[in-house]
Amino acid sequence: MRLSAADPLDGLADIDAANVVRCARTLLRRPLLRLGGPDGELLPLVYRHRVVLGELFTALLGYRLVVERKFARLYKAGPGEDSTRGVQELSPRGYAYVALTMAALTGTGRQVLLSRLVSDVRAAAIEAGMQVVDTIADRRALTAALRHLVSLGVLTETEGTVGSASSDAPAEALITIETDLLGQLLAGPVGDAQDAGHLVTLAARTAPRRVDFQVRRKIVETPVVLYADLAEDEREWLLRNQRRESYLLERCFGLYTETRLEGILAADPEEYLSDVMFPGTSTVARIGLLALPDLLSQDPPADDTEESQVDSAGRRPVTADRVREVCERLVADYPAAWSRQAAEDLDGIVTEVLALFVHMGLAVADGERWWLSPAAARWWPEPDGDPEREIAEPAPEPEVPGWSLFDEEGGA
């Protein structure tokens, strides 16, 4: 059965179409799906609909899907220079150790001792020209890499734990290697890459280049897509096909699109595909939300030109000092609403608020300024009332003594 470009699910029964959409959403969230892992119970359903799912991802996004009985692997495009799509627990050195560990595991058998694996990884690092020093920071980066591979199911802690690698005297552990999953991890064309930077570029590239693939990938994988950030041919294609694309994204992936003057936003009503919630319940998310009106409506400085206030995408500039000023006022206005950290580490809150804006696609860092996206106005909060500041209550008036039990009726 070939899928129609106008409606990839055309011809399927309603129950089958709903199951295909459920599986497609799961694979977008978890490109490496395995038995025993998160959402692994859906793997039999993915296997059942593997042909339709493979054609759907190929026709709409240009992604390749491999489905076996024990795992499913969706090969997405790499994030390119987008630093917001990484694993938060991994530092740059941690990512290097992930690559080195995979290289070391290639020549290893089914099982390996933790001490042997650590030794092989450090040997591979030295061979690659990395400086290896036995410090707590280096051990933590290696441990984070091993834990990430455990979370993916590539490594299994048969006896002991990889967490001991971060200690001065690590305890021994027996690690089992899932060779089938190990062979499915790498998605980029390693053999064609001249260096690490070139590999990042190649992994993010569509071959052959198709405008519809490029635009759909951006809408599905990123919170906000502004027309000004698209290439000219991509922008023209999206403007011509907005209505059809909105239908396809809702039909195949359960995403609802909002089209605005500056761009398009894809939202997941079930919040399953969202790795970061905004608005959220944390102190950082709530302060960031309440800060948006002041940040978006601030008057331009007198010494700046009009052109510097809004860029081609409709973004407005803001400085860290301005964000700190707004956050400081919010903390003072609502003292009981925040965690103790907000009052004790305001600079840290400012840093986290700006990082949240960048991660959500609501801001772009530019040196000492951040450019706020016009899409941020979508979450403009409307407070129920003015902040209630703490007001000292008046001291109670002294109570006038009443009739005493020792008083005689009619007076003394």
Does residue 333 sit in the same domain as residue 303?
A: yes
What CA–CA distance (Å, rounded) separates 298 from 330?
Answer: 16
C-beta neighbour count of 69 within 10 angstroms:
9
Residue 305 maps to a domain:
yes
Q: If DSSP states are collapsed to H, E and C, what string results for 178-231? A: CHHHHHHHCCCCHHHCCCHHHHHHHHHCCCCCCHHHHHHHHHHHCCEEEHHHCC
Residues 98, 236 within the same domain = no
Q: Are 229 and 313 in contact (CB under 8 A)?
A: yes
Domain CATH code at residue 160: 1.10.10
* Residues 383, 316 share a domain: yes
Number of domains present in the structure of the chain: 3
Residue 69 shares a structural domain with residue 210: yes
Give yes or no: residues 296 and 381 share one domain: yes
CA angle centred on 152, ends 214 and 129, rounded to 5° = 80
Q: Does 224 reside within a domain?
A: yes
Q: Could you tell me the maximum CA-CA distance found in the chain, to the nearest angstrom?
A: 111
- 137 and 174 co-located in one domain: yes
| Domain assignment present for 2 | no
Distance CA 152, CA 213 (A): 27
401 CB burial (10 A radius; 0-12, 13-18, 19+): exposed
- Compute mean pLDDT per 10 residues along the chain, 412 residues long, and list them: 64 93 96 93 96 94 93 88 77 91 88 92 90 88 94 92 75 90 84 80 74 91 87 93 92 91 87 81 88 78 53 83 90 81 82 89 86 84 60 56 48 45
The domain that holds 334 is classified in CATH as 1.10.10.10
Q: Are 99 and 73 in a shared domain? A: no
pLDDT recorded at residue 383: 61
pLDDT value of residue 281: 82
Within 10 A of 383 (CB to CB), how many other CB atoms are there?
9
Q: Are residue 73 and residue 96 in the same domain, yes or no?
A: no
- Is 263 part of a structural domain of the chain? yes
The answer to whether position 278 is within a domain reads no
Q: Is 136 exposed, middle or buried (0-12, 13-18, 19+ CB in 10 A)?
A: exposed
Residues 289 and 343 in one domain: yes
Beta bridge partners of 82: none
Alpha carbon of 322 to those of 70, 193, 290, 299: distances in Å?
52, 43, 14, 12
- Specify the pLDDT at position 245: 92
CA distance 162 to 260: 48
Range of the domain at 58: 14-77+206-267
Residue 291 lies in a domain: yes
pLDDT the model gives residue 219? 92
pLDDT score of 84? 72
Q: In 3-state terms, the chain is what percent helix, strand and coil (to 5)?
A: 50, 10, 40
- pTM for the whole thing? 0.82
Task: Verify that 29 and 104 share a domain, yes or no.
Answer: no
Q: Are residues 340 and 295 in the same domain?
A: yes
276 is a domain residue: no
* pLDDT (0 to 100) of residue 248: 93
Question: Is 33 found in the same domain as 172?
Answer: no
What are 376-384's contacts with CB under 8 Å, separation 24+?
376/292, 376/295, 376/296, 377/292, 377/296, 378/258, 378/265, 379/278, 379/279, 379/289, 379/292, 380/292, 380/293, 380/296, 381/279, 381/289, 381/290, 381/292, 381/293, 383/290
Q: Which pLDDT value is given to residue 153?
A: 93
Any domain includes 144: yes
Domain boundary residue, one of 239, 267, 295: 267
Q: Within its chain, how far is the Cα of 347 from the centroid?
A: 23
